[in-house]
Structure 1
Amino acid sequence: MRVIKHINNNAAVCIDDNGCELIAFGKGIGFPKIPYEISDLDIVDRTYYNVDPMYYEAMNTIPEKILDVTADIVEIYKTHSAEPVSSNLVFTLADHINFAIDRCKKNITVPTPLQYDVQYLYELEYNVGIEALKIIQKELDVHLPKSEASNIALHFINAGTVSSNLNQHTYIDRVIDDITDIIAQYFRIYIDKSTFNYSRFVSHLHYLLKRSEKGTLIATDNKKMFESISNEYHDTYEAVLKIKNYLYEELGIELNQEEMLYLILHVNRLCVREDCNRKSVTPTQDE
């Protein structure tokens, strides 16, 4: 196996003996000067084929321990599922778990409106989600709420769901582009649409739009948390107000405080990574 690109000290892009590209994880695998041949394959802990390059960023921003735990969780799911599982699932799920742990440490609780639907309609995925919570508590010493089992299950469900409705995709893409432009113009930043950071923000918008279509917007009494987050991230709150107005005027979607709370967290996360202090504007041409 030949290492051709450094990702971090413990992850690298490699070429196997058949000429296929893969991501290899192993202690110190990305440290030596590249390119080089791995003479002892025992140093390789995990390999992933067909990984989208946008997820390389996740390998540097998500703690290695969370990536390892998530890989174990995905392996459990794979042993019970008859459907093929993309290598990308490890990184999207790890990012979700990392964010869930961060929210938990800050005592931010976001309800899961589809919890009972997932529990009874997707028994396999939900049961793996329950097992995932046990693994997270054991390996990471973090007690996530039981509702997170449904959120984890949704990652398994969505990983195997591909919509063939082109008009629906076109509509969603247009809405997401408009929302991205609102954020970029408000903060005067350039948002790189090729990054994993942007991809996970788009995933949240997909979920929000799906919930609005089904009439299942998150609705609980969390007024104090909304007020606290709105004050702490006032600029982000103002940007979300613009998004709220856009969704109502263009699509008739009226976001409540719970949906706005979650959107504030995601917009703030996007902007922190894109550096909100830069005074440049997202180009209008396609990326």
Structure 2
Amino acid sequence: MKIRKILNNNSAVVLDDDGQEVVVIGKAIAFKKKVGEAINPAIIEKKFCLSSQNLNTKFQDVIVNLPLEEISVVTKIITEIRMHIGKKISESIYVSLSDHIHYALKNYERGIHVTNNLMYDIQRFYPDEYKLGLAGLDIIEENTGIRLSIDEAGFIALHIVNAETENGMCANMVEKSTKIIAEILDIVTNYFEQEITEGTLVYFRFINHLRYFAYRIVNQSMFLDEKKDKDLLDMMKVTYQKSYMCAVNIQEFIRAKYNIEIGNEELLYLIIHIQRAMLNN
């Protein structure tokens, strides 16, 4: 493997046997090396070959400032996430999480504490991701001796949620999606004047649906509005009157605040989930 680009003493970009760029990590792996020189494969501790050139470039930009210890921490956290999340996650997490943990540790050294204003919603809507965020704090402490604040578990959870989308959302979009879920739940609980019982299967299904729903709103996706759903809506208007009216309130709220028409199909799904959630309370 010949060096194509030196990132720092512990990391470099090399070309593999297929001519593809690979980021290699190892203690002093590029120390006193020059572009074009070969690297001994025996001292390579970790290889990163992300799926797109764009991700590769972004990862290189981040990793150039990372000490070997932090790269190891990020790798261990992502391994833990992949083992327990039960679904495919975007490789964008290598970029976003590396960058976040680097600056979280810098802020700790400077005595800066960043409050996570979404903690309550993160714990409610993303319980599995939040548990992995807590595990991430344990990994950071085991490897650096630094115990970051509980707020950071929430931030790590948001990065995981981000990576669960097909191509990864930016952090701002994940935050917007989380706020939309909270807004919809507020509409439901205020309309029925009671809270939805958390931790139940119907609650879990409702939140999962709202996660996808909010993601589509943030991305300004088109919603189906087929006429064939109109007859079923008319039936539900009579059968599930309160759930129907609650869903219509959500529809009008989304239209007014986000300028998006959610369509008949999504309205049907909302009625069904609301009916199940409130019926099982």
Q: Residue in 2 aligned with 1:161?
A: 165
Aligned with 1:24: secondary structure?
A: strand
Query: Taking structure 1 as reference, are residues 84 and 212 closer, same or farther at Cα in structure 2, changes over 3 Å only?
Result: closer
Once superposed, what is the RMSD of the aligned Cα atoms? Answer: 3.1
| Letter of the structure 1 residue corresponding to residue 165 of structure 2 | T
> Which residue among 60, 65, 70 is the counterpart of 1:56?
60
Correspondence list, 1:117-196, <5 A: 117-162=121-166
| Letter of the structure 2 residue corresponding to residue 96 of structure 1 | H
CA distance in structure 2 between the partners assigned to 1:27 and 1:116 by the alignment = 40
> Which residue among 101, 108, 120 is the counterpart of 2:105?
101
Deviations 1:131-158 (Å, cap 9, x if unpaired)?
1111212221212111211110110110
CA contact (8 A) 1:3 1:37 kept: yes
Give the paired residue count. Answer: 181
Query: Taking structure 1 as reference, are residues 126 and 205 closer, same or farther at Cα in structure 2, changes over 3 Å only?
Result: closer
Larger of the two Rg values belongs to structure: 2
Query: Taking structure 1 as reference, are residues 204 and 5 closer, same or farther at Cα in structure 2, changes over 3 Å only?
Result: same
Aligned with 2:150: secondary structure?
A: coil
CA distance in structure 1 between the partners assigned to 2:77 and 2:8 by the alignment = 23
Aligned with 1:30: secondary structure?
A: coil
| Letter of the structure 1 residue corresponding to residue 9 of structure 2 | N
CA distance in structure 1 between the partners assigned to 2:181 and 2:125 by the alignment = 16
| Letter of the structure 2 residue corresponding to residue 119 of structure 1 | Q
CA contact (8 A) 1:125 1:157 kept: yes
CA contact (8 A) 1:48 1:87 kept: no
Percent identity over the alignment? 28
1:41 aligned to 2:41? yes
Query: Taking structure 1 as reference, are residues 208 and 116 closer, same or farther at Cα in structure 2, changes over 3 Å only?
Result: closer
User: 1:206 offset after TM fit, Å?
Assistant: 4.3
CA contact (8 A) 1:26 1:45 kept: yes
Q: Residue in 2 aligned with 1:19?
A: 19
CA distance in structure 2 between the partners assigned to 1:215 and 1:86 by the alignment = 25
CA distance in structure 2 between the partners assigned to 1:88 and 1:204 by the alignment = 11
40-49 or 207-216: bigger deviation? 207-216
User: 1:163 offset after TM fit, Å?
Assistant: 8.1
User: 1:26 offset after TM fit, Å?
Assistant: 1.3
> Which residue among 80, 84, 87 is the counterpart of 1:83?
87
| Letter of the structure 1 residue corresponding to residue 131 of structure 2 | N
User: 1:90 offset after TM fit, Å?
Assistant: 2.3
CA distance in structure 2 between the partners assigned to 1:67 and 1:2 by the alignment = 22
CA distance in structure 2 between the partners assigned to 1:88 and 1:207 by the alignment = 14
| Letter of the structure 2 residue corresponding to residue 29 of structure 1 | I
CA distance in structure 1 between the partners assigned to 2:4 and 2:167 by the alignment = 35
Q: Residue in 2 aligned with 1:10?
A: 10
User: 1:129 offset after TM fit, Å?
Assistant: 0.9
CA contact (8 A) 2:90 2:163 kept: yes
Unaligned stretches of 5+ residues in structure 2? 184-256, 258-281
CA distance in structure 2 between the partners assigned to 1:127 and 1:209 by the alignment = 21
TM-score, scaled relative to structure 1: 0.54
Aligned with 1:27: secondary structure?
A: coil
CA distance in structure 2 between the partners assigned to 1:25 and 1:107 by the alignment = 30
User: 1:209 offset after TM fit, Å?
Assistant: 5.5
> Which residue among 56, 74, 78 is the counterpart of 2:78?
74
Query: Taking structure 1 as reference, are residues 13 and 87 closer, same or farther at Cα in structure 2, changes over 3 Å only?
Result: farther
| Letter of the structure 2 residue corresponding to residue 5 of structure 1 | K
CA distance in structure 2 between the partners assigned to 1:101 and 1:126 by the alignment = 19
1 or 2 for the larger relative contact order (CA 8 Å, sep ≥6)?
1
